Amino acid sequence: MVLELRDLAITFRTDRGPLRAVDGVSLAVEAGRTLAIVGESGCGKSVTALATMGLLPPNARLSGSIRLRGREMATLAQPEWRRRRGREIAMIFQEPMTSLNPAFTAGEQVAEVLRLHERLGERAAFDRAVALLDRVRIPDAARRARQYPHQLSGGMRQRVMIAMALACRPRLLIADEPTTALDVTVQAQILALLDELKRETGTAVVLITHDLGVVADHADDVVVMYAGRVAERAPAARLFARPEHPYTVGLLGAAPRIEGGPTRLASIEGTVPDLLHPPEGCRFAPRCPFRGADCTRQPPLSEVEPGHATACWRAPLDRVLAA
């Protein structure tokens, strides 16, 4: 396993009391595979990624285990963590403009990473940077390497971020909504590029997204999160063929599809719970059409078929249909 999270919990101290953003998350990613973490705003998917990077803010408290290639990271102090993490994990974000330095050219920023990680000289690092920019399919890479971030399109900026990530030769690449800010034709290009790099380098990928269509086309395994907890975990094909958590069922029906025709979308009534005052038991219960008296107790994440687990007292859901 490249990455293994066990019973991860993250609590933020806030003015209004402790906020448990992540509550008992366990997951694992193997080399050469893509694990998608899917969920809506506030479900804890991005906080899980930041914790893995050792980038939590000072008001966060963490418990549980984060193992990177077998080594425990969660017990380390964050600076020590970041140093040990070194080249092993790289991350790309939704808005590359905020992660790139506007005062340096694209080539200089990639070269900087190479000088730190590969101890290359200035000239050699820049040449390698141009080669990397070409590798992530930036047309006319030698010219683009001398341009500043504001002179590049959104898609090209994201390619520069991917080139910087590649420069570290990471074992794990975390991509947090990497294409959410991009147009759909450019999104398709960037996701195909990430697939190709995963195949060629064997890096493990954690893809954080709200888009189930992206999951269907690009993930091997999926974790569906709701209000800080794992609702369902499955191989991607099984999640779509046989969803076993009511939230997953609702989410699949709520996403508008071009195959859908002018039909009514599934409606998950209400809103996500306030994590300062989460409901007792199953957090989805207040919005769940299948809820019952037992849902005031928290359901454990248990397997319904090999590799496919759900946290729902009603599972397998075929029983609901038979009733």
Partner 1 sequence: MTAPLLELRDLRKHFPLRDAIGRRRGAVRAVDGVSLAVPRGTVLAIVGESGCGKSTLGRLALRLIEPDAGSVLFEGEDLRALSPAALRARRRDMQLIFQDPFASLDPRMTVGAAIAEPLRLHRITPRAGEAARVAELLERVGLRPEAARRWPHEFSGGQRQRIAIARALASGPRLVIGDEPVSALDVSVQAQVVNLLADLIRDLGLTFVLISHDLGVVRHIADRVAVMYLGSLVEEGPADALFAAPRHPYTRALLAAVPGRGIKAPPIEGDVPSPIAPPAGCRFHTRCPHAEAICRTEPPALTGGAHLAACHLQDRLPPAPPLREAEPGGDRLRRLQSFFQPAGSDA
Measured from the CB atom, is 170 or 243 closer to partner 1? 243
Q: Cα–Cα–Cα angle for 157, 174, 224, nearest 5°? A: 120
Contact residues for partner 1, defined by CB under 8 A: 40-41, 137, 139, 153, 155-156, 183-189, 191-192, 195, 210-214, 216-218, 237, 240-243, 246, 249-269, 271-272, 289-290, 317-318, 320-321
User: Cβ 137 to partner 1, closest distance in Å?
Assistant: 8
Residue 311 near residue 245, CB atoms below 8 Å: yes
Spacing of C-alpha 31 from chain mean position: 16
Shortest Cβ 218–partner 1 spacing (Å):
8
Residue 14 CB, shortest distance to partner 1, in Å, is 17
Kindly tell me which of 5 and 92 has the beta carbon lying closer to partner 1.
Answer: 92
Identify whether 262 is preceded by a cis peptide bond (ω within 30 of 0): no
Kindly state the tokens that stand for 150. 């504001």
Q: Closest separation between CB of residue 246 and partner 1, Å?
A: 8
Is residue 23 classed exposed, middle or buried when 0-12, 13-18 and 19+ CB atoms within 10 A define those classes? buried
Q: Which residue number, 7 or 318, has a Cβ lying nearer to partner 1?
A: 318
Closer of 167 and 288 to partner 1 (Cβ)? 288
Q: Is 49 exposed, middle or buried (0-12, 13-18, 19+ CB in 10 A)?
A: buried
Task: Say which amino acid occupies 185.
Answer: T
Supply the minimum distance, in Å, between the C-beta of residue 252 and partner 1.
Answer: 7
Tokens 């990397």 locate to 132
Nearest distance from residue 248's CB to partner 1, in Å? 10
Q: Please report the beta strands in 94-240, taking only residues with DSSP state E, as ranges in sequence order.
A: 172-176, 204-209, 221-226, 229-235
Pair 3, 68: CB distance under 8 Å: yes
For partner 1, the closer of residues 117 and 242 by Cβ is: 242
Is the CB of 124 or the CB of 186 nearer to partner 1? 186
